[in-house]
Amino acid sequence: QKEVEQDPGPLSVPEGAIVSLNCTYSNSAFQYFMWYRQYSRKGPELLMYTYSSGNKEDGRFTAQVDKSSKYISLFIRDSQPSDSATYLCAMSATGGFKTIFGAGTRLFVKA
Amino acid sequence: DGGITQSPKYLFRKEGQNVTLSCEQNLNHDAMYWYRQDPGQGLRLIYYSQIVNDFQKGDIAEGYSVSREKKESFPLTVTSAQKNPTAFYLCASSHGRQVTSREQYFGPGTRLTVT
Protein backbone atom coordinates (compact mmCIF):
# COMPACT_ATOMS: atom_id res chain seq x y z
CA GLN A 1 0.00 0.00 0.00
CA LYS A 2 1.31 3.43 -0.95
CA GLU A 3 1.74 5.99 1.82
CA VAL A 4 -0.25 8.51 -0.21
CA GLU A 5 -3.09 7.60 -2.57
CA GLN A 6 -4.48 9.96 -5.16
CA ASP A 7 -7.00 9.22 -7.89
CA PRO A 8 -5.21 9.86 -11.22
CA GLY A 9 -8.39 10.94 -13.02
CA PRO A 10 -8.75 12.45 -15.49
CA LEU A 11 -11.39 14.69 -14.02
CA SER A 12 -13.32 16.76 -16.56
CA VAL A 13 -15.60 19.61 -15.47
CA PRO A 14 -17.31 22.57 -17.17
CA GLU A 15 -16.03 26.08 -16.62
CA GLY A 16 -17.39 27.60 -13.42
CA ALA A 17 -17.81 24.29 -11.61
CA ILE A 18 -16.52 23.60 -8.11
CA VAL A 19 -13.74 21.03 -8.23
CA SER A 20 -12.85 18.68 -5.40
CA LEU A 21 -9.48 16.93 -5.43
CA ASN A 22 -8.57 14.44 -2.72
CA CYS A 23 -5.79 12.36 -1.22
CA THR A 24 -5.71 9.73 1.47
CA TYR A 25 -2.69 8.75 3.48
CA SER A 26 -1.66 6.06 5.91
CA ASN A 27 1.08 7.66 8.04
CA SER A 28 -0.47 9.34 11.08
CA ALA A 29 2.82 11.23 11.65
CA PHE A 30 2.17 13.51 8.67
CA GLN A 31 1.61 17.07 9.86
CA TYR A 32 2.47 19.19 6.82
CA PHE A 33 0.24 19.04 3.77
CA MET A 34 0.85 20.69 0.42
CA TRP A 35 -0.84 20.96 -2.94
CA TYR A 36 1.18 21.55 -6.08
CA ARG A 37 -0.08 22.37 -9.57
CA GLN A 38 1.83 21.03 -12.55
CA TYR A 39 1.16 22.10 -16.11
CA SER A 40 2.11 19.73 -18.90
CA ARG A 41 5.89 19.39 -19.34
CA LYS A 42 6.56 21.91 -16.54
CA GLY A 43 7.79 21.69 -12.98
CA PRO A 44 5.27 21.68 -10.09
CA GLU A 45 4.43 24.96 -8.37
CA LEU A 46 3.29 25.22 -4.76
CA LEU A 47 -0.37 26.21 -4.45
CA MET A 48 -1.30 25.65 -0.82
CA TYR A 49 0.48 24.70 2.37
CA THR A 50 -1.31 23.62 5.55
CA TYR A 51 -0.05 22.54 8.93
CA SER A 52 -2.03 19.94 10.90
CA SER A 53 -5.85 19.95 10.62
CA GLY A 54 -8.27 22.58 9.44
CA ASN A 55 -8.98 24.72 6.43
CA LYS A 56 -6.95 27.28 4.57
CA GLU A 57 -8.30 29.58 1.88
CA ASP A 58 -6.44 31.50 -0.82
CA GLY A 59 -8.59 33.14 -3.46
CA ARG A 60 -10.51 30.46 -5.33
CA PHE A 61 -8.59 27.66 -3.61
CA THR A 62 -9.41 26.02 -0.27
CA ALA A 63 -7.28 23.29 1.31
CA GLN A 64 -8.87 21.06 3.91
CA VAL A 65 -7.20 18.53 6.20
CA ASP A 66 -9.03 15.86 8.21
CA LYS A 67 -6.38 14.06 10.22
CA SER A 68 -8.88 11.78 11.94
CA SER A 69 -9.80 10.33 8.55
CA LYS A 70 -6.31 10.76 7.05
CA TYR A 71 -7.89 12.65 4.18
CA ILE A 72 -7.01 15.94 2.54
CA SER A 73 -8.87 17.93 -0.09
CA LEU A 74 -8.33 20.84 -2.42
CA PHE A 75 -11.40 22.75 -3.60
CA ILE A 76 -11.33 25.05 -6.60
CA ARG A 77 -14.24 27.47 -6.93
CA ASP A 78 -15.33 29.02 -10.23
CA SER A 79 -12.94 26.78 -12.14
CA GLN A 80 -11.33 28.20 -15.26
CA PRO A 81 -9.78 26.54 -18.33
CA SER A 82 -6.44 27.84 -17.05
CA ASP A 83 -6.87 25.54 -14.03
CA SER A 84 -6.43 22.54 -16.34
CA ALA A 85 -3.34 20.83 -14.99
CA THR A 86 -2.20 17.94 -12.83
CA TYR A 87 -2.61 18.51 -9.09
CA LEU A 88 -0.20 16.77 -6.74
CA CYS A 89 -0.74 16.39 -3.04
CA ALA A 90 2.33 16.13 -0.83
CA MET A 91 2.91 15.62 2.86
CA SER A 92 5.63 15.25 5.43
CA ALA A 93 6.07 14.54 9.13
CA THR A 94 7.39 16.75 11.91
CA GLY A 95 11.05 15.99 12.49
CA GLY A 96 11.18 13.89 9.37
CA PHE A 97 12.73 15.16 6.24
CA LYS A 98 11.09 13.37 3.33
CA THR A 99 8.16 14.82 1.44
CA ILE A 100 5.89 12.14 -0.02
CA PHE A 101 4.05 13.03 -3.19
CA GLY A 102 0.83 11.62 -4.58
CA ALA A 103 0.79 10.49 -8.20
CA GLY A 104 -1.35 13.48 -9.20
CA THR A 105 -4.87 14.03 -10.54
CA ARG A 106 -5.28 15.35 -14.07
CA LEU A 107 -7.96 18.04 -14.27
CA PHE A 108 -9.58 19.37 -17.44
CA VAL A 109 -11.82 22.44 -17.25
CA LYS A 110 -13.86 22.83 -20.43
CA ALA A 111 -14.81 26.29 -21.69
CA ASP B 1 14.19 37.05 -11.58
CA GLY B 2 14.87 34.47 -8.87
CA GLY B 3 14.30 30.86 -9.70
CA ILE B 4 15.62 27.47 -10.65
CA THR B 5 16.88 26.64 -14.11
CA GLN B 6 17.41 23.20 -15.55
CA SER B 7 19.08 22.42 -18.80
CA PRO B 8 18.60 21.06 -21.29
CA LYS B 9 14.84 20.76 -21.54
CA TYR B 10 15.07 17.62 -23.69
CA LEU B 11 18.00 15.19 -23.76
CA PHE B 12 18.52 12.13 -25.89
CA ARG B 13 21.24 9.56 -25.22
CA LYS B 14 22.25 6.12 -26.32
CA GLU B 15 22.19 3.28 -23.84
CA GLY B 16 25.51 2.87 -22.05
CA GLN B 17 26.37 6.56 -22.02
CA ASN B 18 26.55 8.70 -18.89
CA VAL B 19 24.68 12.00 -19.02
CA THR B 20 24.71 15.04 -16.72
CA LEU B 21 21.65 17.18 -16.03
CA SER B 22 22.21 20.75 -14.91
CA CYS B 23 20.39 22.51 -12.06
CA GLU B 24 21.10 26.08 -10.97
CA GLN B 25 19.26 28.26 -8.45
CA ASN B 26 19.61 31.93 -7.50
CA LEU B 27 17.17 31.83 -4.58
CA ASN B 28 19.99 31.58 -2.03
CA HIS B 29 18.51 28.29 -0.82
CA ASP B 30 20.66 25.89 1.16
CA ALA B 31 18.80 22.68 0.34
CA MET B 32 18.50 21.17 -3.11
CA TYR B 33 16.84 17.98 -4.36
CA TRP B 34 16.57 15.76 -7.41
CA TYR B 35 13.35 13.88 -8.17
CA ARG B 36 12.33 11.53 -10.89
CA GLN B 37 8.76 11.56 -12.24
CA ASP B 38 7.28 8.65 -14.18
CA PRO B 39 3.70 8.39 -15.54
CA GLY B 40 1.24 7.32 -12.87
CA GLN B 41 3.77 7.67 -10.05
CA GLY B 42 4.51 10.37 -7.55
CA LEU B 43 7.80 12.18 -7.47
CA ARG B 44 10.56 9.92 -6.19
CA LEU B 45 13.58 11.36 -4.44
CA ILE B 46 16.95 10.52 -5.95
CA TYR B 47 19.40 12.67 -3.95
CA TYR B 48 19.29 15.70 -1.72
CA SER B 49 21.81 18.16 -0.34
CA GLN B 50 21.56 20.37 2.74
CA ILE B 51 24.80 22.29 2.33
CA VAL B 52 27.75 22.64 -0.01
CA ASN B 53 29.97 19.55 -0.27
CA ASP B 54 27.37 17.36 1.41
CA PHE B 55 24.62 15.22 -0.08
CA GLN B 56 22.54 12.18 0.85
CA LYS B 57 20.91 9.35 -1.05
CA GLY B 58 17.16 9.36 -1.48
CA ASP B 59 14.89 6.41 -2.22
CA ILE B 60 16.17 5.57 -5.70
CA ALA B 61 19.84 6.66 -5.79
CA GLU B 62 21.19 3.57 -7.55
CA GLY B 63 22.65 4.45 -10.94
CA TYR B 64 22.82 8.18 -10.18
CA SER B 65 25.49 10.48 -8.79
CA VAL B 66 25.55 14.15 -7.75
CA SER B 67 27.93 16.85 -6.61
CA ARG B 68 27.44 20.07 -4.66
CA GLU B 69 30.55 22.18 -5.10
CA LYS B 70 28.65 25.47 -5.11
CA LYS B 71 25.53 26.58 -3.27
CA GLU B 72 23.85 27.50 -6.53
CA SER B 73 24.50 24.29 -8.43
CA PHE B 74 23.49 20.64 -7.98
CA PRO B 75 24.16 18.62 -11.16
CA LEU B 76 22.86 15.07 -11.53
CA THR B 77 24.69 12.39 -13.51
CA VAL B 78 22.67 9.48 -14.83
CA THR B 79 25.13 6.65 -15.26
CA SER B 80 24.99 3.59 -17.48
CA ALA B 81 24.23 1.56 -14.33
CA GLN B 82 20.73 3.06 -14.14
CA LYS B 83 18.49 0.32 -15.53
CA ASN B 84 15.59 2.47 -16.69
CA PRO B 85 16.81 6.06 -17.09
CA THR B 86 14.10 7.40 -19.43
CA ALA B 87 12.03 9.78 -17.29
CA PHE B 88 11.24 13.40 -16.43
CA TYR B 89 13.81 14.75 -13.95
CA LEU B 90 12.97 17.60 -11.59
CA CYS B 91 15.31 19.68 -9.47
CA ALA B 92 14.00 21.57 -6.45
CA SER B 93 15.31 23.78 -3.67
CA SER B 94 14.10 25.00 -0.30
CA HIS B 95 15.02 27.52 2.40
CA GLY B 96 17.41 26.88 5.24
CA ARG B 97 19.63 24.01 6.12
CA GLN B 98 16.82 21.91 7.53
CA VAL B 99 15.60 19.65 4.80
CA THR B 100 12.39 19.53 6.81
CA SER B 101 11.57 22.82 5.11
CA ARG B 102 8.32 22.00 3.43
CA GLU B 103 8.09 24.53 0.66
CA GLN B 104 10.05 23.29 -2.27
CA TYR B 105 10.49 25.30 -5.42
CA PHE B 106 10.86 23.32 -8.61
CA GLY B 107 12.70 23.88 -11.85
CA PRO B 108 11.07 23.31 -15.26
CA GLY B 109 12.43 19.77 -15.57
CA THR B 110 14.55 17.81 -18.06
CA ARG B 111 13.02 15.04 -20.10
CA LEU B 112 15.64 12.35 -20.69
CA THR B 113 15.15 9.69 -23.33
CA VAL B 114 17.62 6.82 -23.57
CA THR B 115 17.44 4.45 -26.53
Pairing of strands B31-37, B44-49: antiparallel
Residue A96 has pLDDT above 70, yes or no: no
Whether A96 and B106 lie within 8 Å, measured CB to CB: no
pLDDT band at B96 (very low <50, low <70, confident <90, very high): low
pLDDT for the residue numbered B7: 92
SS3 B2: coil
pLDDT band at A98 (very low <50, low <70, confident <90, very high): confident
What is the rounded average pLDDT of the residues B65-69? 97
Considering only CA atoms, which of B72, B81, B85 is closest in space to residue B22? B72
Of A46, A97, A103, the CB nearest to B40: A103
**Taking a contact as any Cβ pair under 8 Å apart, which residues of chain A between 66 and 85 contact chain B?**
none
Of B99, B102, B106, the CB nearest to A44: B106
Residue B99 has pLDDT above 60, yes or no: no
Whether A104 and B42 lie within 8 Å, measured CB to CB: yes
pLDDT band at A51 (very low <50, low <70, confident <90, very high): confident
Pairing of strands A19-25, A4-6: antiparallel
Residue among A97, A98, A106 with most chain B CBs within 10 A, to mutate: A97
DSSP-assigned beta bridge partners for residue A49: A34
Whether A103 and B105 lie within 8 Å, measured CB to CB: no
Of B35, B58, B103, the CB nearest to A46: B103
Q: How far is CA B21 from the centre of its chain?
A: 7
Whether A97 and B42 lie within 8 Å, measured CB to CB: no
Average pLDDT of every residue of chain B:
91
Whether A43 and B90 lie within 8 Å, measured CB to CB: yes
pLDDT for the residue numbered B4: 95
* DSSP string across A31-97: EEEEEEEE-TTS--EEEEEEESSEEEEETTEEEEEETTTTEEEEEESS--GGG-EEEEEEEEETT--
Higher pLDDT: A60 or A52? It is A60
pLDDT band at A17 (very low <50, low <70, confident <90, very high): very high
Chain B residue whose CA is closest to A104: B42
DSSP state of B27: S
What is the rounded average pLDDT of the residues A32-50? 93
Q: Could you give the percent of chain A with pLDDT greater than 90? A: 79
Whether B42 and A102 lie within 8 Å, measured CB to CB: yes
